[in-house]
Amino acid sequence: MSAVDSTGKEEHLWLSLDFLTRYFLAICCVIGPLLLGYLAPNRVADMLVPLADRSIVSFVLPNPDAESAAKIEKLKAALAEKQKTASEKQGALDRLEAAAATEDKRKEARLAVENAQAAEAAAKADIEKAEKSRGTDRTITQSKQIADTLTARYNYAATSGVLYLVSAATLLLGGMIVFRRSTPLFFAGLALALILAWGGTKAPTAYANAGQTFLKALLDQADQNAVVFKPLLDAYKDAAAFKVSDAIKLIIDINTFVGLVAVGIALLAFAVLSGPEDKPSLASLEERKTNLQRLIALSSAILVVATFASKVVMDWPLGLVIAPQAEALRPLANALTSHLGMTGTIALFAAAAPALTGWYRDVKRYRDSTDQKQDPDKLEFGVPAAVTSIIAILGPALTSPLFASFKAIIEMVAGGKGGS
């Protein structure tokens, strides 16, 4: 090997190491969230919950006639008890009449028979009333089911609209930050974000499998419940258009893709904001701080809305099954939403921490290079700004049901200590 080749390789290695050292934080802004917020949690979930794409539970859909039938059976049982009581009282009276008991005893026994017969007549009237109200009870139960399923659809549509709005705002802000730094980097980053978002949307994970089988399998059954949904099926021009079990997967995929594209551009913007400046100035550092605050807020908003959308879509099936099964399945729905919220917080922290570190590093370089300490407050995260940023980073986790459970435990412990 010639000295020239050796020198060239050493120079190339030095340049590579210099690039990695200079842009280490920028690389962390992209790799950290993907590794810590997506790959690692989903890999652990895949190992703990290696589900196939099939239903994991059997669902019990409500019967609109079940409540009326149970009510009438209960009334019939009460009537049988009252008939038994009336028969016993009549038997006691007959025995007193045969034994020629005193008039007072016979009068008291006759009064007891009259009261028992009146109670029996009232029980018969209640049964007749319940029989006549079967149609009304059926309509009420049917109306509740129809209202629940339409409410879930409207809520998810509204949440999807908010997700699109926040994603668009994040794309605009993140794209502007990257575009101002480098036009080729913006287009290359956008292309990579589109590719990764498509792969992330189609990639099978334990969260997606559990969610899809939990949601889609139930909606498949619910769509077939023509007894409950007959008025809706009659109202739709095409009965097949009412069935949402296939459409929901497409909508979730679209929402996931849109959110991931925006998050991808946001990660690239965090990387740009973490990159070192050759000659940092007060104006550029102040602008970077403002962009970091806005980017943290918008990125948090995307993840918060995504977590809320997960809660909406996971609560959807719970309104379509009988109440006892809804309560039994609620922990699973909450766990899936909490998984998404916690991974969102991890990803946002992994992106924001290196970007803030890079900014603080340039602030220190700027202060060390100048004796003028002009406007020092402009280069500090004050308490309100710091608290706002921390809350934004924790936003996805705070939205998840897991935090609500944790808060309830803390309040219970605090209440126990206060009372002791």
Structure tokens at 37: 């917020």
Longest dimension (CA), the chain: 136
pLDDT of 245 reads: 64
Q: In the structure, what pLDDT confidence band is assigned to residue 322 with cuts at 50, 70 and 90?
A: confident
pLDDT of 406 reads: 45
Rounded to a whole number of angstroms, the CA Rg of the chain reads 34
**Cα–Cα distance between 123 and 141 in angstroms, integer?**
24
Q: In the structure, what pLDDT confidence band is assigned to residue 37 with cuts at 50, 70 and 90?
A: confident
- Per residue in 156-185, is it b (16+ CB within 10 Å) or e — as a string? beebbeebbebbebbbebbbebbbeeeeee
Q: Evaluate if residue 173 carries a pLDDT over 90.
A: yes
Work out the burial of residue 11: count CB atoms within 10 Å of its CB; fewer than 13 is exposed, 13-18 middle, 19 or more buried: exposed
Work out the burial of residue 318: count CB atoms within 10 Å of its CB; fewer than 13 is exposed, 13-18 middle, 19 or more buried: buried
What is the value of pTM for the model shown? 0.73
pLDDT of 169 reads: 92
pLDDT of 266 reads: 93
More confident residue, 44 or 237: 44
CA distance from start to end of the chain: 81
Q: How large is the average pLDDT for residues 48-71?
A: 70
pLDDT of 175 reads: 93
Q: How large is the average pLDDT for residues 233-261?
A: 74
Q: In the structure, what pLDDT confidence band is assigned to residue 172 with cuts at 50, 70 and 90?
A: very high
Structure tokens at 104: 């007072």
Q: Evaluate if residue 187 carries a pLDDT over 80.
A: yes
DSSP letters for 219-275: HHHHHT-HHHHHHHHHHSSSHHHH--HHHHHHHHHHHHHHHHHHHHHHHHHHHHHHS
Which of 5-14, 213-222, 397-406 shows the lowest per-residue confidence on average (mean pLDDT)? 5-14
Range among 139-143, 163-167, 383-387, 400-404 rated most confident = 163-167
Which of 78-87, 233-242, 258-267 shows the lowest per-residue confidence on average (mean pLDDT)? 233-242
Alpha-helical segments (H) within 275-400: 282-318, 323-369, 383-399
pLDDT of 249 reads: 75
Structure tokens at 167: 């994603």
Which of 23-37, 285-299, 366-380 shows the lowest per-residue confidence on average (mean pLDDT)? 366-380
Q: In the structure, what pLDDT confidence band is assigned to residue 194 with cuts at 50, 70 and 90?
A: very high
Cβ(138)–Cβ(68) under 8 Å?
yes
**Cα–Cα distance between 269 and 179 in angstroms, integer?**
9
pLDDT of 396 reads: 61
Inter-axis angle of helices 323-369 and 401-419, nearest 10: 90
**Cα–Cα distance between 259 and 347 in angstroms, integer?**
13
Which of 9-18, 67-76, 108-117, 227-236 shows the lowest per-residue confidence on average (mean pLDDT)? 9-18
Q: Evaluate if residue 377 carries a pLDDT over 90.
A: no
Q: What 3-state DSSP class applies to 327?
A: helix
**Cα–Cα distance between 349 and 300 in angstroms, integer?**
10
